[in-house]
Amino acid sequence: MVRVRFAPSPTGPLHIGGVRTALYNYLFARQNGGKMILRIEDTDQTRFVPGAEQYIIEALDWLGIKFDEGVHIGGPYGPYRQSDRKAMYRQYAEQLIRDGWAYYAFDKPEALEAKRKEYEAQKKTFQYDCNTRLQMENSLSLGMEETQRRIVAGEPYVVRFQFPDNIDITVHDMIRGDVTMNSRLLDDKVLFKSDGMPTYHLANIVDDHTMEITHVIRGEEWLPSAPLHVMLYKAFGWEAPQFAHLPLLLKPEGNGKLSKRDGDRLGFPVFPLEWHDPKSGEISSGYREKGYLPEAVVNMLALMGWNPGTEQEIMSMDELIKLFNVEHISKNGAKFNLDKAKWFQHEYFQKLSDEAVADMLEVQMKEHGVEADHAYVVKVAGMMKERITFPGELWETCCYFFQAPTEYNEKDVAKRWTPDMHIHMSKVIEILNTVPFEYDAIHKALLDDYIAANGLNTGKVMNSLRIAVVGRTVGPDMITLVMMLGKDETISRIQKAIDKLKTE
Ligand code: GLU
């Protein structure tokens, strides 16, 4: 039985890279008929941010990434928040000490800092490891008696992992193959802190084991920690899960990890939902609030670091579940591409029904104090949908279907509305008043019998008509638009434009 987990730390809003990690876990779980678990890793109380956990849950729910067990829904392996599991970690730290895999360390922050400085002065980097640990204040250098005395006296301590000297540790990674590191390069990481809390490393391994996690799928930034994790499994005598470290999401330029600052600089969100920082009050934009559809975000993220092995780009969640495979996850970082994000959004917007788009448009019409027959709005929505990427563009793009222009684009007027144009527009009114109000009849009367027959410039006359009806030279097929607006409204708009633009 496949069991995977998404294990974020509630230190702020969930980065879009974290969302991708959650998504890949979800796809893998669903494809294998397994379980998807949400575990909150909040052992570092200093980095805890109120509201972050709720944000993570809401964001993943919006995207349709569902869980079988987790902090918000419970399950047979709970609790699913590490601070609620606090009592269980100490015994594991003690077990490691008993078995010679860990030791107590009493070094004060100042002593560690002094050591670092001392090394720096010699142009070296201090690392707490097999070469240096005996120079430090710990149970290995002090002996058990002195260690016991200090613990009883209430001296603060941490528990550190004791790497065996000079062994090669191999991590089998499903994406990268074997990654081997020598233990001499690794520092004796703190596993348990004086505040009675485990660190990420200990809690993560204990939880993955006790929650029977079979596959650990997480960001590449955790690869350097993987040898320690492999050793911890060995030290406990537990079977390690399989690891897959996902490639980083890179800046659009490709150099370095995608950060919040890149989003601010280039104007795109790096968070799924808008985030209000509880301390600074700063607001960071979110995909949801920008009007992105969750399906578009999911599809875009799925392809950032993975491909189905074909040219197919548009895939629903169900298709992704079918097609996903770890073999096609790239080893290289994936560059964020804003144009591509918008392309996906546009594609998914087109999949919305005319009714759904009309509903969105009606909300915006209300804000502008405009009402119209629902069937008419649906028709407008259907006609204009292909020009829309974000719902926020709806009113601006469609407003002239509901109200006459109040001003006329200066550039367009200068280019098209020649001094004699009021004469032609009066003629257009006359034509509309006399021919049957049908597409073909209007088309023939206007373009053949008037414009062509009099040797007029079609672009100039038709675009001036557009200026009169729309306010600028944009919009759908002109005669279709006239048919939509109806005879009276069209004529009234042309007359208004004649009055306004004649003297100018
Ligand atoms: N708490 C870690 C994070 O915030 C989880 C890393 C892991 O999945 O092992 O990314």
pLDDT above 90: percentage of residues in the chain: 95
Residue 320 sits in which domain range? 260-349
Contacts of 386 (CB under 8 A, 6+ apart): 350
Check whether residue 324 and residue 345 sit in a common domain: yes
Check whether residue 286 and residue 357 sit in a common domain: no
Q: Which amino acid is at 15?
A: H
Handedness of CA 116, 117, 119, 124 (dihedral sign): positive
- In angstroms, what is the span from residue 180 Cα to ligand 1's centroid? 21
Number of Cβ within a 10 Å radius of residue 78? 16
Angle at CA 219, nearest 5°, toward 217 and 221? 135
Check whether residue 299 and residue 369 sit in a common domain: no
pLDDT level of residue 51 (50, 70, 90 thresholds): very high
Q: 482: which 2 tokens? A: 């006239």
Least confident residue range of 279-283, 394-398, 430-434, 479-483: 279-283
**Torsion angles phi and psi, residue 435, rounded to 5:** -80, 155
Whether the Cβ atoms of residue 233 and residue 239 lie closer than 8 Å to each other: yes
* Per-residue confidence (pLDDT) for residue 28, from 0 to 100: 98
Residue 175 included in any domain: yes
- Between helix 52-63 and helix 16-31 the angle, nearest 10°, is 50
DSSP-assigned letters across all residues of 154-187: T---EEEE-PPTT-EEEEEETTTEEEEEEGGGS-
Residue 81 included in any domain: no
Check whether residue 59 and residue 95 sit in a common domain: no
User: Mean pLDDT throughout 439-457?
Assistant: 97
State the Cα–Cα distance between residues 401 and 385, nearest whole angstrom. 14
Check whether residue 93 and residue 187 sit in a common domain: yes
- Residue 260 among the catalytic residues: yes
Number of Cβ within a 10 Å radius of residue 375? 9
* Per-residue confidence (pLDDT) for residue 383, from 0 to 100: 96
Which residues, listed in sequence order, are joined to residue 217 by a DSSP beta bridge?
244
Check whether residue 415 and residue 499 sit in a common domain: yes
Residue 79 included in any domain: no
Question: Beta strand pairing status for 242-246 and 215-219?
Answer: parallel
Residue 80 included in any domain: no
DSSP state of 15: P
pLDDT above 70: percentage of residues in the chain: 100
pTM for the model: 0.92
Protein residues with CB under 6 Å of any ligand 1 atom? 7-9, 41, 200, 204, 218, 222
User: Mean pLDDT throughout 234-254?
Assistant: 96
Q: Which atom of ligand 1 is nearest to the CA of 5?
A: 8
Whether the Cβ atoms of residue 171 and residue 230 lie closer than 8 Å to each other: yes
User: Mean pLDDT throughout 390-417?
Assistant: 96
- In angstroms, what is the span from residue 254 Cα to ligand 1's centroid? 24
Check whether residue 218 and residue 173 sit in a common domain: no
Q: Which amino acid is at 27?
A: L
* Per-residue confidence (pLDDT) for residue 465, from 0 to 100: 98
User: Mean pLDDT throughout 333-350?
Assistant: 96
pLDDT value at 457 more than 70: yes
> Is pLDDT larger for residue 196 or for residue 99?
99
Whether the Cβ atoms of residue 157 and residue 109 lie closer than 8 Å to each other: no
Which residues, listed in sequence order, are joined to residue 216 by a DSSP beta bridge?
243
pLDDT value at 504 more than 80: no
- In angstroms, what is the span from residue 400 Cα to ligand 1's centroid? 51
DSSP-assigned letters across all residues of 17-62: HHHHHHHHHHHHHHHTT-EEEE-B----GGG--TTHHHHHHHHHHH
Catalytic-role residue among 260, 331, 342, 487:
260
User: Mean pLDDT throughout 413-422?
Assistant: 95
Minimal CA–CA distance to 2: which of 44, 24, 32, 42? 32
Choosing from 401, 429, 464, the residue where a domain stops is: 401
Residue 197 included in any domain: no
CATH number for the domain harbouring residue 313 = 1.10.1160.10
Residue 307 included in any domain: yes
* Per-residue confidence (pLDDT) for residue 503, from 0 to 100: 61
Q: Which atom of ligand 1 is nearest to the CA of 9?
A: 4
Check whether residue 425 and residue 463 sit in a common domain: yes
Mean predicted lDDT score pLDDT of the chain: 96
User: Mean pLDDT throughout 98-119?
Assistant: 97
| Total domains in the fold of the chain | 5
User: Mean pLDDT throughout 104-127?
Assistant: 96
pLDDT value at 25 more than 70: yes
User: Mean pLDDT throughout 285-305?
Assistant: 97
* Per-residue confidence (pLDDT) for residue 267, from 0 to 100: 86
* Per-residue confidence (pLDDT) for residue 45, from 0 to 100: 86
pLDDT level of residue 260 (50, 70, 90 thresholds): confident
Q: Which of 204, 209, 233 to mutate to test the pocket of ligand 1 (most atoms within 8 A of CB)?
A: 204
Residue 216 included in any domain: yes
* Residue 236 Cα distances to 7, 160, 310, 370, 460, angstroms: 21, 15, 43, 69, 82
pLDDT value at 59 more than 70: yes
DSSP state of 246: E
As a whole number of Å, the end-to-end CA separation of the chain is: 77
